[in-house]
Structure 1
């Protein structure tokens, strides 16, 4: 598929106060196709001054946007949902070109990402309050929820549509203006998202977008502006901690979806067909480049060999190539740095005693490809037991008791997602209660859903996105007391 004609027509500048324009000084940065290493296009490289202008506009627009009727805000989101769905093929092709995932997965992300707009279109008109009489009967207690105010949105590269809609949707529904910095590696999908919102009728100044080769250059002026009242970030725990420190200086509301190290537990009573299917979804979705990806596989000793062999057979048979080509199931990793990290983690585990059942090597030639890999006998001291892999590698460790499985699952500072397979419902529910994760897939490898709260515990973050609670992250509670006369 030739995606270049679509890319050549895209707006690739900064989007401030409803206008696309060049960055200060006309500076640009290149966007690459990870399957070929070739440049797709150039985009605006925003400056600190550009960022300051964007947050100023967001601040000036906040009052009028907050006064916009909830139904009107919801209808903008509903129209944007329909526009995104109608452009699935074009958006998916651009997403695959800049990020690498197979085209079928990109189409799935468009459906998933657009769903956040449909979900929050319905939540916009359901922002609730309360009215009660005080216990002594002398006053009325009136509680309302109001927009928190101008919000900073910072998204990663791995789900370039869904990460945007998951933050923009509730902000629009709640009545918050925004400044948005998409990832440098995958900005083109975000530009298409902005175009859909503009066509849907989003007023100028509500959403302002600044791309940059330096996140710090853009985000720091926003954080220090005194205008922003909320920051929501998806990315590494290290960067998230830095943003929390900055947010503390202005006592800003925060949502942080940070690193993951998801355990995938297979009990001896598991249905192995279900477990392997679940492992394929939890591990190989997005080429393993997902914060929810199964990262550490813990399999009961009695079924470990059979599970490992079945999983290796499935992963080893996957078709590798440019995600735009027909039938490809495994695309390239997003950049050379990501490829090298995966290779180093596998090499470290093998040197310390792990066995390669399938894969275990880079694929030579253009692009950043790594062969889908299954490792067994992974030693406790290997880096792959502690590090988030972000690649198509399944390291397997055996366990003998439920207590051991829970201990292994919880031996990490992270707690985003987890997976458990068991046909004994009572046992399964007990184990999920003991696993320290914000989200758990029980006998399923797919947990993401616009109608469910997405987020983690421990150092995997703060707050939730999606579900009924998602809009609460962009609202403040106001209490009014008035005497009863």
Structure 2
């Protein structure tokens, strides 16, 4: 298949090539073939995008909340209108099953729709001073131009989760999509340009700069005083680097970083519900999800049955290209991702872990970057697979004596993004809800993300929140005016 040529830098409302005309290849992870060539943005391109954002900032901030709300509502409708096209592009470049891609597109539209409402509800306060010396007026103002660094695993919805609140708050945005998945963001650029043109949005409010040199672009932008905020979704290691770089100019930062989510199954859990939840929490997007269940911690009374049923379900999951409607587990994103997951499993088995599932790599498609859904039992406590964000369709089952021990094991990590737990008793539900250490806890369910809820972690999983009423606060400065 010949490559589609996509000149891929949106600066303002204009799509164009890189300054040096360089491009990079985008691969279909289900086949390994090149499906597109995308313009490879240079530092000069990124700085031009920031310049456009800076030039547009005052004009966009001066627009009324109602105007910003209408623009965001129209973006939601436009995304919905092109949902099938966006889902197919997303599935092709990322590999996720079509039904999951369609769900991501719908979620993208919901972020624009939610923040259309939030744009008209910016917080503020007016009150008499308690001492009687005057009045207190508290307002919010947009922080200014933002850099949004988005991940490859949810390239469309995670971008919308940053762009929508920024626009609602009155901020301009430069988006750096992941090099593995730039195509769906360029499609979103088309939608943004058309909606913005219709509403006479200032040129430069959103720019999209795909690149293979993310470190150089980020460093250059974060050293420029015109930038005022960085929002990042990705690995903890990269997040630490960005936080250090943000210090010189004291940039506002939001960091949604890696996880190591526990999935606790109490002795009194509804095993049908727990197994269904486990399959969903582990195999969605082939396990390439920051909130994916990483460690299944099961009370001994039900561990054998839970493990056997989970392995049976895993072995029955159809593995194949995301564009095949029958597929439930697609490929991993790159060959390096397959090698990494394989190494974690091989090391665990060599150290004494037992593979409960039957399939091996020989049983999944030979072309592309596939890894079989795998369940491991008897994993040694020190194994890397227990202490690393797996980012693949591999479940580890650890057996504990009771719920108290399960919660202690679940909390034995420096990550704190998401946690899951299943119990049928009021006491068990309360213990899981109140004592699991994470920014997000799901009890007797696994669909943890919601546009109306704050998404984010604690400890080494980052800080700041996206989504909900809390999400827009990340793009607002607080301003106090003393009145007589």
Contact 1:359 1:371 in 2 (8 A): no
Contact 1:80 1:199 in 2 (8 A): no
* Residue 273 in structure 1 maps to residue 277 in structure 2: no
Bigger drift between 410-419 and 320-329 goes to: 320-329
1:359 CA drift (Å): 4.5
The aligned counterpart of 2:234 is 235
Contact 1:280 1:445 in 2 (8 A): no
1:232 CA drift (Å): 0.2
The aligned counterpart of 1:412 is 413
The aligned counterpart of 1:59 is 54
The aligned counterpart of 1:47 is 42
* Residue 137 in structure 1 maps to residue 132 in structure 2: yes
Which runs of no fewer than 5 residues in structure 2 stay unpaired?
A: none
1:474 CA drift (Å): 0.2
Contact 2:320 2:365 in 1 (8 A): no
Deviations 1:167-222 (A, max 9, x none): 00000000001111000000011111121222222432100111111101211111
* Runs of 4 or more consecutive aligned structure 1 residues displaced over 2 Å after TM superposition: 359-364
- Equivalent-residue separation in structure 1 for 2:325 and 2:103 (angstroms): 16
The aligned counterpart of 2:297 is 298
- Equivalent-residue separation in structure 1 for 2:358 and 2:109 (angstroms): 35
- Equivalent-residue separation in structure 1 for 2:299 and 2:403 (angstroms): 9
In the superposition, the TM-score normalised over structure 1's length comes to 0.96
- Equivalent-residue separation in structure 2 for 1:380 and 1:459 (angstroms): 21
1:74 CA drift (Å): 1.1
1:278 CA drift (Å): 0.6
Bigger drift between 418-427 and 450-459 goes to: 418-427
The aligned counterpart of 2:156 is 161
- Equivalent-residue separation in structure 1 for 2:57 and 2:479 (angstroms): 17
- Equivalent-residue separation in structure 1 for 2:229 and 2:166 (angstroms): 10
Contact 1:357 1:373 in 2 (8 A): yes
SS for the counterpart of 2:479 is strand
- Equivalent-residue separation in structure 1 for 2:479 and 2:298 (angstroms): 50
The aligned counterpart of 2:90 is 95
Contact 1:11 1:20 in 2 (8 A): no
* Residue 438 in structure 1 maps to residue 433 in structure 2: no
SS for the counterpart of 2:450 is coil
1:86 CA drift (Å): 1.4
- Equivalent-residue separation in structure 1 for 2:153 and 2:327 (angstroms): 18
The aligned counterpart of 1:106 is 101
SS for the counterpart of 2:331 is coil
- Equivalent-residue separation in structure 2 for 1:316 and 1:76 (angstroms): 46
* Residue 324 in structure 1 maps to residue 323 in structure 2: yes
1:427 CA drift (Å): 2.3
* Residue 147 in structure 1 maps to residue 147 in structure 2: no
- Equivalent-residue separation in structure 2 for 1:204 and 1:61 (angstroms): 7
Which runs of no fewer than 5 residues in structure 1 stay unpaired?
A: none
- Equivalent-residue separation in structure 1 for 2:55 and 2:325 (angstroms): 48
Contact 1:99 1:186 in 2 (8 A): yes
- Equivalent-residue separation in structure 2 for 1:425 and 1:12 (angstroms): 57
1:119 CA drift (Å): 0.4
- Equivalent-residue separation in structure 2 for 1:431 and 1:161 (angstroms): 32
Contact 1:59 1:150 in 2 (8 A): yes
* Residue 315 in structure 1 maps to residue 310 in structure 2: no
The aligned counterpart of 2:347 is 348
The aligned counterpart of 2:478 is 477
In the superposition, the TM-score normalised over structure 2's length comes to 0.97
- Equivalent-residue separation in structure 2 for 1:450 and 1:11 (angstroms): 31
Contact 1:359 1:372 in 2 (8 A): no
* Residue 128 in structure 1 maps to residue 123 in structure 2: yes
* Residue 172 in structure 1 maps to residue 171 in structure 2: no
Alignment of 1:375-386 (within 5 A): 375-386=376-387
The aligned counterpart of 1:28 is 23
Contact 2:146 2:231 in 1 (8 A): yes
1:360 CA drift (Å): 6.1
Contact 2:152 2:181 in 1 (8 A): yes
1:11 CA drift (Å): 5.2
Contact 2:43 2:220 in 1 (8 A): yes
1:285 CA drift (Å): 0.9
Deviations 1:288-344 (A, max 9, x none): 000000000000111011111111111110111111113111111000010011101
The aligned counterpart of 1:462 is 463
